[in-house]
């Protein structure tokens, strides 16, 4: 059984601070996706990483896929209250058909 | 990216009754996925809905409890049968396009 360990589970920080969320597994994934979910909404895809060692930036968010494609991190610089939400990592397997396994999520709260 | 419309967005139901959730996609997709997200938790895959064949259920989920229809390549329904308070959750449908998953806004179900 493939498992994705996501940490931390909860994070409460002040506006302007930096943070990193981690997603680790003993399994190799074909891709790793990060989602953000706000209350009352479905998860929204932020980024997909597919190559070991890949780094992608989305404004103040930096995503990294581990060299062995078993782990990933999301780093947010100078967090803002608008970054508040549930962040989910998901490992892709089984080709391009969307089979995903989700981490437990990180609930981020950024206080002004 | 696919646009997914899911309804109802929320409902409060009596125990012992059934609720059918509809999911409409703006383009044809091979597979649609149904997830459950319990309060404060991550996403758990219930089943994969294939057009023209029976849905494939994950461990812990059975067809009698969660019957699924997939009459065409743009539509699917999930029924939560004989509901109990433990079925209170958010139910999400999802599709995959080019290895990326897209979600509807979810159905927040409360069973009383």
Q: With cut-offs at 50, 70 and 90, classify the pLDDT of residue B85.
A: very high
Nearest to B101 among A45, A103, A105 (CB): A45
pLDDT recorded at residue B31: 85
Residues 6+ apart with CB under 8 A from A14: A110, A111
pLDDT recorded at residue B39: 82
Nearest to A102 among B43, B98, B100 (CB): B43
Strand-pairing partners, residue A11, are A108
Q: What is the token pair recorded at A29? A: 């994934």
CA A40, CA A50: separation in Å to the nearest integer? 29
pLDDT average, residue stretch A48-64 = 95
Give per-residue pLDDT as tens, A75-108.
999 999 999 999 999 988 765 455 788 898 999 9
pLDDT average, residue stretch A48-72 = 94
Q: What is the token pair recorded at B23? A: 């999911």
Closest residue in A to B89 (Cα–Cα): A40
What phi, psi does A77 have (nearest 5°)? -100, 135
Give per-residue pLDDT as tens, B6-23.
999 999 999 999 999 999
- Among A43, A90, A109, the strongest candidate for a mutation testing the B interface, having the largest count of B CBs within 10 A, is A43
pLDDT average, residue stretch B31-51 = 89
Give per-residue pLDDT as tens, A1-31.
568 899 999 999 999 999 999 999 998 988 8
B103–A43 C-beta distance less than 8 A: yes
pLDDT recorded at residue A1: 56
What phi, psi does B86 have (nearest 5°)? -65, -15
Say if residue B41's pLDDT is above 90. no
Using H for helix, E for strand and C for coil, what is the string for B6-68? Answer: EECCEEEECCCCCEEEEEEECCCCCEEEEEEECCCCCEEEEEEEECCCCCEECCCCCCCCCCE
């Amino acid at each position: 059984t493939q498992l994705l360990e996501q940490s931390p589970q909860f994070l409460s920080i002040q506006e302007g601070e930096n943070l990193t969320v981690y997603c680790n597994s003993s399994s190799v994934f074909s891709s790793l996706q990060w989602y953000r979910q706000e209350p009352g909404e479905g998860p929204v895809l932020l980024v997909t990483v597919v190559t070991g060692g890949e780094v992608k930036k989305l404004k103040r968010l930096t995503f990294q896929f581990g060299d062995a494609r078993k782990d990933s991190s999301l780093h947010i610089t100078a967090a803002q209250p608008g970054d508040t939400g549930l962040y989910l990592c998901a490992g892709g397997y089984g080709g391009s058909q969307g089979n995903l396994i989700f981490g437990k999520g990180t609930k981020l709260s950024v206080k002004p | 990216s696919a646009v997914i419309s899911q309804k109802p967005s929320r409902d409060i139901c009596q125990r012992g009754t059934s609720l059918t959730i509809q999911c409409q996609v703006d383009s044809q997709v091979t597979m649609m996925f149904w997830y459950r997200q319990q309060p404060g938790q991550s996403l758990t895959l219930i089943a994969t809905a294939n057009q023209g064949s029976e849905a494939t259920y994950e461990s812990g989920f059975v067809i009698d409890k969660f019957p699924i229809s997939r009459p065409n390549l743009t539509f699917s329904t999930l029924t939560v049968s004989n509901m109990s308070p433990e079925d209170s959750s958010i139910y999400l449908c999802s599709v995959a396009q080019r290895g990326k998953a897209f979600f509807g806004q979810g159905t927040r179900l409360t069973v009383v």
